[in-house]
Amino acid sequence: MTARLLMVLSAGILLSLGIMHLTYTFWGTNLTPRDPALQVGMSRVSPVLTRETTMWRCWIGFNATHSMGLILFGLIYGYLALAHDQLLFRSPFLLLTGFVMLAGLIVVCRLYFFTAPLIGVSISFVLYAVSAALSRA
């Protein structure tokens, strides 16, 4: 029971971060540049890869899909912990996939983001690791 609860809490943190990030992506100014000229410039310039979009549209798309990935992880691992805990905790593939995802997010947060997401993802990782360890005991 403790393993399930810790997994749900771990998943809930990522779900919450993903929903918050998706909200910030489409509403408000939290993810816009402090310098309005930068947003204007990003809206006018295309990446080298293609002229079919702008850097600003890519920025919005990257933020939206990043959010969707966090939401998906939170929903799937939370659901599995609640409804199919035996499948989750007996599957080396699922447990390893979650570990790798969370570890990768920690690295990305450390290298490219700021303290708040790093703390949230790190707490989620610890809860996940303890949950997985307890499920094996």
pLDDT of amino acid 69 = 98
* Distance between CA atoms of residues 51 and 108, nearest Å: 28
Q: What is the pTM of this model?
A: 0.93
Question: What's the rounded Cα separation, in Å, for the pair 60 and 26?
Answer: 8
**Per-residue model confidence (pLDDT) at position 63:** 97
The total of structural domains in the chain comes to 1
Q: Is the pLDDT of residue 33 over 90?
A: yes
Residue-range definition of the domain harbouring residue 132:
2-136
Mean pLDDT of the chain: 97
Can you tell me the distance from the alpha carbon of 47 to that of 54, in angstroms, rounded to the nearest whole number?
Answer: 7
Per-residue pLDDT band at 137 (split at 50, 70, 90): confident
In this prediction, residues 31-46 reach a mean pLDDT of: 97
